[in-house]
Amino acid sequence: MSSRTTIDPLSITDGKISNQAKINPKKVAPADEASFLITQNDRKYQPKKIHGDGTIDADGRLTISATTSTVITSSEEETLPVDSVKIGPSNYDATENRTKKVGVGPSAIPVRDTSGNLKAETADSADNADNATSADNADKLDDQEGTHYLDVTNHTAGTSTAVVGASGILNHTTQTVPTRVITAVSTGNCSDVTDFVVEHSLGTMPLDVKVFEGSSTTEEVEVEVESTATQSTVKFSPPGPSVDFTIKILGVKE
C-alpha cells in the first residue's frame, strides 16, 4: 500500500485531481530564466526562450536582448508623447522603432479634418507654382477664387504677335483679347424717336454695333451708328420702328 510520501507510478490520473487543487508552480521542473512553456511537435510542453537572452528584474519586468532590444512590462504600458504614434525602422535608419508626431509640423503624419478630408500642411503645386501657400489656398490660382477668372471684366489682352504674309498678302499682327457684349433692349413705342444712346463704357471704340428687330429675332435693321470709347448712338431715319428692338455692341474692355 502506498504511503503519504510515496506514489505508485501512473497512479495519479487527471480525473483524480480536484478542480480545487492549488498546485504550486515552483514544483514544475526547473527551466532557464525568462523561458516560456511552448507546445512541441509531440504535443508536450517544454520551456523555451522566445528570442535572445532574457532577464527578469526585481519589479517583474522581462527584458529580451536581441538585435533590437524590447522591454515588456507586465505592470504598466509605455507612455508615448502627446499626439504621437510609434512606427518601425525606416530604410535609411533601420536601428529601432521611432516616435512620429500626428498633426502638423515637419515630418508629422497628417490627420483628417472634421469633414473627413485629408490635407497636407502645404500645397507646393496645387496653387501658384511661384508662390506656394497653405493647403487652405490650394483651390485658388494666384490667390484668386475661380469666380475671378469667370468674370470677363478681369480678363486682359494678350501680347500682339507679328505675322509676315507671303507674297501678295499683307503683313499683320494677331492678338488674343477679351471681348464684351453689351445688350440694350428698347421698351414701348419708339416710332417718334430717331436717336438712341447706349452707355457701353468699354474704354475703347466698339468692334461692331448691330440692331435687331424685336427682343428675340435675328432680323437685322439697317441703321447709322456713331460711337465713342464710352457710348454708341444708334440713329434711325425715319424714326425708330413701332416694335421693340435690340442693340448689341461688341467691343474690347480695357
Q: What is the pLDDT of residues 131-179, one digit of tens each?
A: 444 555 656 777 788 888 888 778 887 888 998 888 888 888 988 888 8
Question: In this structure, which amino acid lies at residue 195?
Answer: D
Report helix, strand or coil for 51.
coil
Give me the phi and psi of 132, to 5 degrees please: -65, 130
Residue 115 in domain: no
Q: 243 and 185 in one domain?
A: yes
Q: Are residues 233 and 191 in the same domain?
A: yes
Full-model pTM: 0.42
pLDDT confidence tier of residue 128, bands split at 50, 70 and 90: very low
Which tens digit of pLDDT belongs to each residue from 202-214? 889 999 999 998 7
In a domain, 248, yes or no: yes
User: Could you tell me if 125 and 139 are in contact, meaning their C-beta atoms sit under 8 angstroms apart?
Assistant: no
- 139 in any annotated domain: yes
Residue 140 sits in the same domain as residue 189: no
Q: Residue 145 belongs to what H/E stretch?
A: none
Whether 4 is in a domain gets the answer no
Read off the pLDDT band of 117 (50, 70, 90): confident
Q: Kindly state whether residues 185 and 148 are assigned to the same domain.
A: no
Strand partners, 39: 45
Residue 35 domain flag: yes
Judged by DSSP in three states, 148 sits in helix
Please indicate, yes or no, if residue 52 is contained in any of the structural domains: yes
Same domain, 243 and 201: yes
Q: Is residue 211 part of a domain?
A: yes
Range of the structural domain that residue 33 is part of: 23-67
In this structure, the number of other CB atoms found within 10 A of the CB of residue 25 comes to 5
Total tally of structural domains belonging to the chain: 3
Quick check: helix, strand or coil at residue 144?
Answer: strand
Q: Please name the residue ranges forming H helices in the chain.
A: 146-150
* Domain contains 104: no
